[in-house]
Structures are given as structure tokens and as C-alpha cells.
A = this chain, B = another copy of it.
Amino acid sequence: MKRENTTIYDIASEVGVSIATVSRVLRGETNVSPATREKVQQAMDRFNYRPSSIARGLTSKITHSLGIILPKLLNPHYAMIFTGAQEEARKLGYTISLFPWSSLDTNAYNPAAMLIERRLDGLIVCVEYLPPEHDERVLAALRTLREYMPVVLIGCVPPWYDFPAVANNNAAMMRSIMEYLTKMGHEKIAFIGGAQEDKDPLCRDVGYEEGLRAARLPYTASYRIYGKGTAEAGKASMDEMLDSLKQEYWPTAIIALNDLVAMGCLQSAREHGIAVPEQMSVIGCDDLFCAPYLYPPLTSINTHQQRVGARAVQLLISGEYKQETVEWELMERASCAPITKKREE
């Protein structure tokens, strides 16, 4: 079944040259006479020769393989990052493997061992906001990993992380969402999901508060619900908020951490008999494939995550030290609308 691979020796002896010469045409060096190059090339084709990337990696120290660590792949948000990274890597002749988030867990026994043994040419890590004590640990793990291979970060990367990064500017994004909503007349705007992350100038909470200030609106603690980025959590948070407030204090607009949370909010609104967007606007983030097919079609923010993945690969391979920020785009659909009449009418 498994065929014996032909090697550089086979080609060399076939053509009657040294393996050094074969290696030269393999690597596309110019200092080979056209005649021998041609003969070698033909022999390679004839034998269907494929150089072993393993052997090449051992001698040249470059393996043409990258790693990527994502919190999870089942949220399409991360699948987009992975796809973008994979496609770019392939274009550049690299292979990319997914490693679990637990690879960063410095509590486990040698979680990163596999990562290091692979002699990767680089590693992309998608960072999320974490409770502070975790935060320190992850940063320590990243610094260790960096001793072995270049690391670039993506996602929610606070500016004080001393790594090249393609970061989401969540603060700016939030500000523009707030502007979008306040211009439509909303004043009671809730923000659901995510951790309290207000030390980072790029975080959503900062943008949320700035948006409130810009519109001269009060910060209402009951409208800021922390929680995980899942649909279940979104639904639970929203349920709890609504049930704990008299109707007249219900928000007229909901900003969800992401589309998953937004899905949960939509569900909750439905169960509470609230019409979206007539009585309540909902906006998500990530622009998942299902956003246009929810009811009502969900207004969301497209953050071009495929581009993020691709860009991270470029930074990794070029070795540039840059901290970039991501553009985004508002995808207006039917889940947000101006306030026309009071809900309590």
C-alpha cells in the first residue's frame, strides 16, 4: 500500500549528477547549467518525485508548518478565522494545524509540549478577555511559547500585550453602534454579554460608556449584563433583566456581545411578547451566516475575520512586529429600527 518514496539519491543516480545538484534545482537555485537543470527536472517528473518536507525541515530548520490556537471552532466566527489563515498559509506554502486552547493551560502537565516538539515556524493565538488571574497565566504561557517560535495574537488583544497582533478595536466599534442606536432615538440601551474588561482601552465597555456620554445618557448598571458569549447565556441574561425590571424600564435597544448572544435575546424577546424591532431593537456582532435568516433578520457587525486570519499569517511569516486593528462594517437588516412610538402606549 504505502509506496517507497523516491529520494534525491534516486534522481541523482538516474541523471548521473550529485545530490547537491539535484538539491539545487529543487530549491530553484540559478547556478545550474540549463542542460543539467533540464535533465534533472525531467527525471523528477518521470519519477514523480516529491521532496520530503520532513527532511527539508530537519536540515533547513524551517518546517513550513504553522499552528493556531482558537477557543473553539464551532462558533463560525472562529471557523472564519481558521479558513482565512488556512488559505493564506497554503498560498505561501505553509500548512496549518489547529491546537486546542488547553495548550496554553500552564496548570496542566506540559500542555504546550506537542506545540514545541512540532518545531512550528510560527503560532497564531486567538485571545479572549479572561478573568484577571487567568490573564496573567495566559500571558506567561505566551511568553514561554515565544521563546520557541514567533507568536502573533488576534482577537481581543489589550495594547499592553507585547506581541504583534491583529486586534479588534471593540471600543471604536461600540461607539459607532451606540451612535447608530442613539441617532434612531434609543435612550435605554442595554449591553449583554462579555466579561468586565474595562482596563483595556480597546474593550467594548469603554466604547459603551463613551457612547452613553456622547449622547448625554446615564449609565444604568441594570442595563449592563455580563455573561458568556453563547445563545443560552444571552437568553438567560435577557430573561433575568426583563423579569427584574418594570416594563416601563425595559430597554428599547439591545447590543449583544455577538450573534450567538443576539439569538438568545431574540428568543427571550419573543417569549416575553416583545416585537422586534417595533418595540425593541437588537444588534449582534460577527455577522454569522445565519444572521440574515433569523427572525427578524439580524442587524450585525461584520468584522472580516477571514481577513484577520490571513493577516495574522502574513505577520507571522514576514516577521513584522506590528499591532494592527481590524475594520468592521455595519450590516443593516431588520432587527433595528428607530423609535417611533412609546412602547407603553
Contact = CB atoms under 8 A, between A and B. Distances in A.
Interface string A146-180: 11111000000000000000000000000000000
Contact of A97 (B1, B97, B147, B149): B97
A: interface residue count bin: 35 or more
A322 to B, nearest CB: 16
A270 B289 contact: no
A119 interface: yes
A290 to B, nearest CB: 4
Contact of A293 (B55, B63, B97, B231): B231
Nearest to A306: B74
A64 to B, nearest CB: 9
Given A54-B119, A119-B52, A293-B231, A3 B76 contact: no
Contacts of A263: 290, 293
Interface in A56-106: 57-58, 63, 65, 72-76, 79-80, 82-83, 86-87, 90, 93, 95-100
A182 B266 CA distance: 32
A2 interface: yes
A140 interface: no
A17 interface: no
A70 B20 CA distance: 38
A53 interface: yes
A229 to B, nearest CB: 12
Contacts of A231: 289-290, 292-293
A231 B2 CA distance: 41
B149 A2 contact: yes
A237 interface: no
A52 B114 CA distance: 10
B82 A98 contact: yes
Given A73-B83, A74-B76, A82-B98, 19 more contacts: A1-B147, A2-B147, A2-B149, A3-B148, A5-B148, A50-B113, A53-B117, A54-B54, A54-B63, A72-B83, A74-B79, A75-B289, A86-B100, A90-B100, A95-B114, A231-B289, A267-B293, A290-B294, A295-B295
